[in-house]
Chain A
Amino acid sequence: MLVTNLEILPGHKIVRHVGLVQGSSVRSKHVGRDIMASLKNIFGGELQGYTELLQESREEATKRMMLQAESIGANAVLNVRYSTSSIAAGAAEIFVYGSAVELDI
């Protein structure tokens, strides 16, 4: 499955537009991490726990999007966008969407 945030793949044609596909993931870290983060807030610096959390979350959202694209018979997802929103203290939603197409690969 080709996942890209460009709109074209030079040398290949889009055979069929399948539609919009999306994936999302809402995650939070355990309380220990949150306490560590608030401590880190005194000293400043990177919050590695949250970085990893959001990275994993983004990977999962992308995986879900790919599964959806596969299930409707696409072989590529073009023009992929990410979006993040914090929906509660300590939890964030990662949303990813793109247009599923069938390419002549």
Chain B
Amino acid sequence: MIQLGIFISLLIVGFLFGRIAEKRHFKSIVARELASNSLVAVASRFPPENENYEQHLVVGNVVVASDYFKSAMASLINFFGGRVTPFESLLDRARREAILRMKHEASLLDAKFVFNVKLETSRIATGQVGAVEVVAYGTALTKPAMHVEAISS
């Protein structure tokens, strides 16, 4: 009885906090995506050749954990089969966050573009903790600094 009580209260806590956290996160993601739209990040492997750019590797990563409710829902869905929507939204959030962090690093370098963006997902912290890491990396193209141009010309 006590165990059932603990399970149900964990479910409720996970549902409420997870919901709030996810809503807040999506809101902030959408706002920051709009703000960073001017910096173009593409998966093309070939940089523009008509202008001189410096290249810098930029990386963004995030580790997100699922909440208790999501995990319980996922194991329930796993029983019947079908789309595991609780985890789909989790991974979507993680990927977009990783790209935003990568873009943030690029914007600190005053980059014009990010080329060859790669995304990688890995499950970390096996055992008690269920969490995924998403890393986004790419090459930021920046205009060379003025004094560098003066020296080379």
What is the interface size of chain A, counting residues whose CB is below 8 A from a CB of the partner?
A: 38
Q: Kindly state the separation between the CA atoms of A89 and B49 in the bound complex, as whole angstroms.
A: 46
Task: Name which of B13-21, B32-40, B74-82 contacts chain A.
Answer: B13-21
A47 at the interface (CB under 8 A from B): yes
**Is B57 a contact of A3 with CB atoms below 8 Å?**
yes
Kindly supply a per-residue 1/0 record for chain A positions 1-27, scoring 1 wherever the CB is within 8 Å of any chain B CB and 0 otherwise.
011111111110000000000000000
Which residues of B (8-34) have their CB < 8 Å from a CB of A?
A: 10, 13-14, 17-18, 21-22, 25
Which residues of A (36-51) have their CB < 8 Å from a CB of B?
A: 37-38, 40-48, 50-51
What is the interface size of chain B, counting residues whose CB is below 8 A from a CB of the partner?
A: 49
Q: Kindly state the separation between the CA atoms of A50 and B97 in the bound complex, as whole angstroms.
A: 15
**Is A44 a contact of B55 with CB atoms below 8 Å?**
no
**Is B118 a contact of A81 with CB atoms below 8 Å?**
yes
Minimum distance in angstroms from A101 CB to a CB of chain B: 13
Minimum distance in angstroms from A22 CB to a CB of chain B: 15
Interface of A: prevailing SS: mixed
Residue numbers in B under 8 Å from A43 (CB-CB):
13-14, 17-18, 21, 67-68
Kindly supply a per-residue 1/0 record for chain B positions 30-72, scoring 1 wherever the CB is within 8 Å of any chain A CB and 0 otherwise.
0000000000000001111100110111010111111110110
B interface residues, Cβ below 8 angstroms from A: 10, 13-14, 17-18, 21-22, 25, 45-49, 52-53, 55-57, 59, 61-68, 70-71, 97, 115-116, 118, 120, 122-131, 133, 135, 137-139
**In the complex, the 5 A-B pairs of residues with the closest C-beta atoms, listed nearest first:** A44-B67, A44-B18, A50-B63, A89-B127, A4-B55
Can you name 30 A-B pairs with beta carbons within 8 Å?
A: A4-B139, A5-B139, A6-B45, A6-B46, A6-B115, A6-B139, A10-B53, A11-B49, A34-B129, A37-B65, A38-B129, A41-B68, A42-B67, A43-B14, A45-B21, A47-B64, A48-B63, A50-B133, A51-B61, A51-B62, A54-B135, A55-B61, A81-B118, A83-B120, A84-B120, A84-B122, A86-B125, A86-B126, A92-B124, A92-B133
